[in-house]
Structure formats: C-alpha cells, structure tokens
Structure 1
C-alpha cells in the first residue's frame, strides 16, 4: 500500500523548547557509515531475502495459511541473519478471502472482461446496465436514485509520477466510490484499476463501505478492459454480469515479527525500520512489500556484523496486515506508544513500502526539526554519493512521509525519516499478478539497502535525539 494514502505525511508537531541541544553525529560514526555504504552496495543480502520470501512463501494475504508461513519464515530469517533478539507481537483483524471472480458483457457484444474483486467486497452475482463516470466527482454529482438496478463504472485514469502523487485520486476511487454508488441505487460497482500500466492485469486493493450501507459486489477492471468497456458504453446501452465469490470470514491473528541488534550503551532506545510482511494474493508480493522487508532486514544485518554495535538498538519490524488497514502499524503503536516514556525511546523510524526503485531524496520530520537539522544534514551528506538529494525545503515532510506502518507511531509524536523512492513505474505493478521478483533491479535494491543502512546506523549513533515527543491528540 502506497504511503501517500496517509494524511500523516505532512503532520508536524509543536516545536520543542528553544533551549534544546543541537543533535550531532560523531566523525568516527560518519567514517564507519561511509564504509558501510560501500559494503552494502556490494552486498546481495537484500536480494537474497526478497528472493527467499517471494519464492518460498509467495503470495501471503493476511490471515491465510501462507501468511502464517511468512511469520515463521521471518522469525527464522531474522535469526539466520544474526539478529540477537527475535520476537513476535500478535495482531488481530477481520479475515477477507477471494475465491473466484468473473465479468461478462451481455447481449449483442457479449464478451468476457478481466476483473478482480476489491478487498472487502462481498460476494454475489449482479446484472445491470453499466453507467460510466469519468471521475469520482461525476459519480458524486449523479442524482439520487439514478443508478437503481444499474452497475456504476468509474473510469478514472491515473497518471505516472516519480512520487506516485496521483494515487491519492486513484485510491480515492477505490475507497469511496463503491459507497457512493450504493447511495445512488447501484447494485454493483466496477472501476478502472488504480494503476498506470496497459497490461491486462487488474489491480486489487482494499475498499470500505460506509456504516449503514449494504455492501455491493465491487471489482476493478484491467486498464485494457476499462478501455473496452468505455468503448462499449459509447456505442449504446451495455449490460454487464459481475460474479464474485469472496467476502469476510471471521477474524484472524497474525504477528508483527521483530528482530533487533541490541545497542551497546543505550539499548532501550531504538531506531525503527521495516516493511510489511503481508501481500495481496495475485502476485508474489515482490515490490509490495517483499522488497521493503528485504531492504530493512539486510540493513539491520549489515549493522549487526560490525565489531561494535551502535549506541542504540536497531529494531527491524516485518509488519502484519498493512494491506487491509494498517493493522500491524496500529498494533505496534498501541504496544510501543502508550505514553511519553515510550515515545522518548523512539529515536526515529522509517519504512520501505514503495517498491524497489532507487531512493532519490531524504529528509526527517519530528516535533523538533530545527534541533536535529544538523544531524539530518550529516546523514544526507553520507547518502549523497548514492544519488540521494537532501530536501530541507520540505521542512521534514519528505516526499513520501513516514511510511504507512510508521504512520501510527508518527501520529503519536515519533520522529521519522522519508527516504523517497522513484515510483514512476510502481503503479504498473502495484496489487497485480505482475508483482513478481523479476521486476526488481538488484542494483537499485542494493542502493536502497545502502541508504537504509547509513540512515539507521547514523541515527543510532547520534549525540542527541531527532525530536520524538508524545502527542496523543495528533493521532485522534
């Protein structure tokens, strides 16, 4: 799930006291990080971890048997990589299952269409005339009751951007339009996939139905099939049969899997990095988010191989069930962000959950960005040879924010870093059957590992903090 979906990406908290000491990083740590950077570029641990997860476990939708195998895999992988503390924390959530799905145009132009159910959709078979809307706003403007007995089709075309910014619009269609269609009387809903490719592979993703509404079958069309349906509706009245076998099936428990490299002098203070362990079920979850797990596990591993551990603990989290509602990130925040004492232990956090494209920008955000700005600039200087720009004009916002699973603890006041990945092609693959290992460039992945290794190590070695401060009201 792309981090731009979070409003948290621009949240900053009240400035800390003006008398706070400026955070700096010792020269010795800078020299060590420079060597770590070059070592990481030549290391293939990130690739091997990502290959292992996507090959040995494959797709791992939350609550499935494969999800349980992924948890066992993560525990074993952390131990094999030399993390000195490995543990799990339970995460509970409703369980959604996909079984089968199909769509057919009926009548004179009868033909099948390639679709996939949206996560959270109920099962059922519906037939009706298709009514096309170019945007969510057009559907919202439709008269009440105008879709009675019909199937709503929202045909919004996402555009590519390095920061994936148009996902806020494509994602809004997926999350809001089904409920809007119900309010207008529709019996079913289809959308052009929230994607930027032209392949006949639809993009899934979670949807929500507003309280008080009776859910209707909801699905996404591949981009070519959305084009086809648009042409058919332009010819005249077009009827569609949508058949979905899917739905909620009780509750499930998975786990945040956590590995730590214990700090030498401030072991209770932590630098948190991670990615989410679950994936959708269509591909093998390579870019979303096997790469993030591989990048951050490898970064922790490389730091753990040093003769002397950093001052603070490096905590790597493989978060549970991000895809269906940030359940792992919320559970982590509940367990580790209960009060000011908890928050003070969080030096800073960052999540890799935007594929495996090269990182091109870096910044940090916190309650006290001014006090830690010098340390942020020091980290940025070591990252610069990787082709990563420092973005202080963002005032801590980063181009992608803290990451979805870091978001809940950032909302409570934890400092965070944005390591912005090139997502130009990310939405060609996002939530599709094309999300497979062969789409990852090993050299780009190694650049990500180098960046996370440098960032985590230097943050752990800093003299001073990055401004974490308890702010519970910001999360409400």
Structure 2
C-alpha cells in the first residue's frame, strides 16, 4: 500500500477506533463492589473444595475416581444453581501406577523415597548412577556414555512467588528421561521439582521422543537426592529401581461445564476455569480442587444476582490437565468455530495463595476496561501489573486459537512444597485466602460480562488447528 493511501486509511479509521473503546458502566462497578464484599464473607469455595477432596480424593486421569469426579462435578454445578450443565468427552491413553520402590545396594544399602513419573514405563533396573547438575549437562553427554547406567539429574529448583523456578526446570522432567535413554541410560532418577524438604517425592508427566526406548523414570524426595550426593562423595553408587506402572489402553473422561445465562441475549460468554483431575499421591487440594472451588463459587455468586450480567459466565472443569492439557486441547478443537464468543478467559490453577496481581492480554482498545477491572480488584490487595501475567495452562489452547486471556496471579511461594506430592491435602488450604481468590474471580467475571465492547477475542488468521 502506498504511503498516501495508508495515511488516508489511518485517518479514516482513527475516529472509529476512538469510538470503539471497551468500557464498563458505572452501575456494573457498583454491583461488583457489592459482589466483592459478599464473596469475602461467603464459604462456598471452601465447601466445594472440601467436598471434592473428601468425597472423591485423588483423581488420577483414567481412574475409577476420575469417573466419580465427573459425576460429582455435574451434581455440584446443578446444586449451585447453574442454568446449563453438560459434559464433553475427552479421550486419552490411560497411565496407571501400581507400585514403586528404589534402594541403594552394596556397602551402604538403604531405601530411597521415590515416585514414578507419569508416562514412565514399568521395569526393574539395577545400575550405577551418573550425576548431572542440570539438563544442559545431560544434553552434552556423549552418545553412548550412559550405556548400562542410571542417569541421576540433580537440578535444584528455585523457590519463587510467580512459579518461574518451575518453568526454568521444566525440561528436567519432561524431556530428561528421553534424552538419558537416547544416550544409553537404562533408568532415570531426578531430584523432585519441588521446594519441600519433607521426605516426599513429586510426580509429573514425562514423554519419550519418537524412536527413543522408554526407560523407568522416577523422582526422588529432596532429602534422598541429598543422600545420594553424600554417598557419591564416598565412591560409586548403585541403585535398584522397581516400577510397576505404565500405559493401559484408552480412556474417555469428560470436561464438565456449567453456565450462568446472561440477561442480554448475547451468545458471548466469559470463561473461568480449573481442572478436575489430579495426581494420585495427595488429594489434589491445591492442584486443583481449590481452583474448582473458586470458579464454581464465583459463578454461583453471580448466578444469585437479581439482575444477571449481559453475557453468560461459563465455568469449565477440564479433564486431564496433568498429562498434557488434554481436556483443554480437545475443548479448543471442539469449539474452534466459536472462538470469538469466548469474550475473555482465566484459569485458577496455581494453588490457593492470595492473589496479588492482575492483567489481561487485551488489545489497546480494551485496556480502559482492564484498568477499570483493576480498580475494582484493588481493595483486595491486587495490583494492576500491565507488563506481567499470561494464560493459565488450560487457557493456552484457547489463546493459541485467538481467545484473550486474563491473569489473576496467586502467591506461589509455598506452592511447590505441595505440588504433585503426598502433602497436597485440604489442611494446606486457608479458607480466608480462598475467599479472597473467589472475590477476585467474581469481580473479573462479572465486570467482563458487563463490558460495553469486546476484549479482542477472534480466530487467529491462518490458524492451523
């Protein structure tokens, strides 16, 4: 396009852009303030979280408890007054855990506390361990150098409030076993991706690249990883690892969805989400029963209003987040033709710590509305961080398809003391912190649903879903 034509187009378009700013009516802001205070005094999110962790317990994808959790979620949505409740099938390979053990053998024989990584095959191996300080060191190991050995990944994850330490450590678990196998290793042991010095091991998913032989892979508790280091100072260490785990056919679970119908006749809706599944070591309280409680309670409180917001509130409890966002990916595929109807989407999946930050991925024309939401959140101690944040895990496939994300950042300083290990139980959830989270999600969902204008959601050009 020639410069003169471009300038003409911009001159014509500018007034329209100025007129199309997304804003939130004053009356909606007043109602949001009332909702905020009501949510702080309400215990629905606690009661939902308590119910899921007590009545269902751990919810490994594909397990009998997974099926009970789906039925529980349908019933809970209905009991909380949601207008529409439905399920959508999610099919995936089922991975099962039967038993796991490890021990040092030889002169310093002793047991080790381990847990198999999700996706690991079963098997019994006994071999000398070779220590690596980080993933880069493992990648740099010569081909064949680990033949007949067990790779011991000793990467120490950093404790951070925003979870960035976990992101930095990701390849250690997700790709480490595959890389170790490609270099000849017969097994893989890793220091847990966690920050608790209790003697508990943290599980999580791993995957093997195409053409790479899967090998037994497990995580050690932090004290046991330290113990191996001390033993290695005394000489070579041989470990026996026994895992009775592995894939066992296909399974169909379900995303469970509840909707509070808007009053304005619009097909658009705001999404607030969590995931229903959990690993099987604890009861999945902070990951992610608390998120289920927060989002169900937020939708419920909005549904109790005498005057509903203009758009609907869609609350999604996703299936099988833990093994690769499988429910979220299948949801995005299933709803590919309706991406533009997803006005804004947020997920609670980082525990139950207090929310300290807020932002959205909205374009410039909706930033005024983002600032208005931030002002309504400020009395909760939440700061507008306009250069931070991003989509929650299950929101990522939607965002890749064109949905605009919102972020309510929780304090995760203690999160990885509990994440994916046996200490993830209800007693770690603070009811007051949970109520603060619920209040934040109520404000966000309600004000977004009342906005005059959009937040930029639209199918991405050239999307190859």
Q: Aligning the two structures, in what range does the TM-score lie when normalised by the shorter sequence?
A: over 0.9
Residue number in structure 1 paired with 2:339: 343
Equivalent pair of 1:43/1:446 in contact (CA under 8 Å): yes
- Cα deviation for residue 89 of structure 1 reads 0.5
- Counterpart CA distance in 1 for 2:462 and 2:396 is 14
Matched, 1:360 2:353: no
In structure 2, the residue corresponding to 1:104 is in which secondary structure? strand
- Cα deviation for residue 331 of structure 1 reads 1.2
Equivalent pair of 2:182/2:213 in contact (CA under 8 Å): no
In structure 1, the residue corresponding to 2:233 is in which secondary structure? helix
Matched, 1:181 2:177: no
In structure 1, the residue corresponding to 2:271 is in which secondary structure? strand
For structure 1, which runs of at least 5 residues remain unmatched after alignment? Answer: 1-16
- Counterpart CA distance in 2 for 1:168 and 1:153 is 20
- Counterpart CA distance in 2 for 1:147 and 1:349 is 45
Equivalent pair of 1:408/1:475 in contact (CA under 8 Å): no
- Counterpart CA distance in 1 for 2:97 and 2:142 is 33
Matched, 1:279 2:275: no
For structure 2, which runs of at least 5 residues remain unmatched after alignment? Answer: 1-12
CA deviation digits over 1:154-175, x for unaligned, max 9?
0001111110101123221001
Task: State the TM-score, normalizing by the size of structure 2.
Answer: 0.95
2:399 to 385, 390, 410: 410
- Counterpart CA distance in 1 for 2:225 and 2:217 is 14
- Counterpart CA distance in 1 for 2:408 and 2:256 is 22
Residue number in structure 2 paired with 1:464: 453
- Cα deviation for residue 473 of structure 1 reads 4.1
1:425 to 414, 434, 441: 414
In structure 1, the residue corresponding to 2:35 is in which secondary structure? helix
- Cα deviation for residue 143 of structure 1 reads 1.4
Q: How does 1:22-33 map to 2 (within 5 A)?
A: 22-33=21-32
Matched, 1:442 2:431: yes
- Cα deviation for residue 85 of structure 1 reads 0.5
CA deviation digits over 1:238-270, x for unaligned, max 9?
100000000000000000000000011134111
- Counterpart CA distance in 1 for 2:126 and 2:25 is 67
Residue number in structure 1 paired with 2:380: 386
Residue number in structure 2 paired with 1:318: 317
- Cα deviation for residue 472 of structure 1 reads 5.6
Residue number in structure 2 paired with 1:14: none
Equivalent pair of 1:412/1:472 in contact (CA under 8 Å): no
In structure 1, the residue corresponding to 2:119 is in which secondary structure? coil
1:376 to 367, 370, 373: 370
In structure 1, the residue corresponding to 2:445 is in which secondary structure? helix
Residue number in structure 2 paired with 1:7: none
Equivalent pair of 1:144/1:183 in contact (CA under 8 Å): yes
Matched, 1:117 2:116: yes
Residue number in structure 1 paired with 2:444: 455
In structure 2, the residue corresponding to 1:39 is in which secondary structure? helix
In structure 2, the residue corresponding to 1:360 is in which secondary structure? strand
Q: How does 1:254-273 map to 2 (within 5 A)?
A: 254-273=253-272
Equivalent pair of 1:121/1:247 in contact (CA under 8 Å): yes
Relative to 1, partners in 2 of residues 1:474 and 1:429: Cα closer, same or farther, differing over 3 Å? Answer: farther
In structure 2, the residue corresponding to 1:108 is in which secondary structure? coil
Residue number in structure 2 paired with 1:164: 163
Q: What RMSD in Å do the two structures reach over aligned CA positions?
A: 1.1
- Cα deviation for residue 475 of structure 1 reads 6.5
Residue number in structure 2 paired with 1:4: none
- Counterpart CA distance in 2 for 1:362 and 1:80 is 30
CA deviation digits over 1:43-79, x for unaligned, max 9?
0000000000000000010011000000000000000
Q: How does 1:164-313 map to 2 (within 5 A)?
A: 164-313=163-312
CA deviation digits over 1:254-287, x for unaligned, max 9?
0000000001113411100010000000000000
In structure 2, the residue corresponding to 1:357 is in which secondary structure? coil
- Counterpart CA distance in 2 for 1:311 and 1:434 is 42
- Counterpart CA distance in 2 for 1:94 and 1:225 is 31
Equivalent pair of 2:340/2:402 in contact (CA under 8 Å): no
In structure 2, the residue corresponding to 1:373 is in which secondary structure? helix
Relative to 1, partners in 2 of residues 1:472 and 1:93: Cα closer, same or farther, differing over 3 Å? Answer: farther
CA deviation digits over 1:368-412, x for unaligned, max 9?
x201000000000010000000012x1xxx42x211111101111
- Counterpart CA distance in 1 for 2:334 and 2:154 is 41
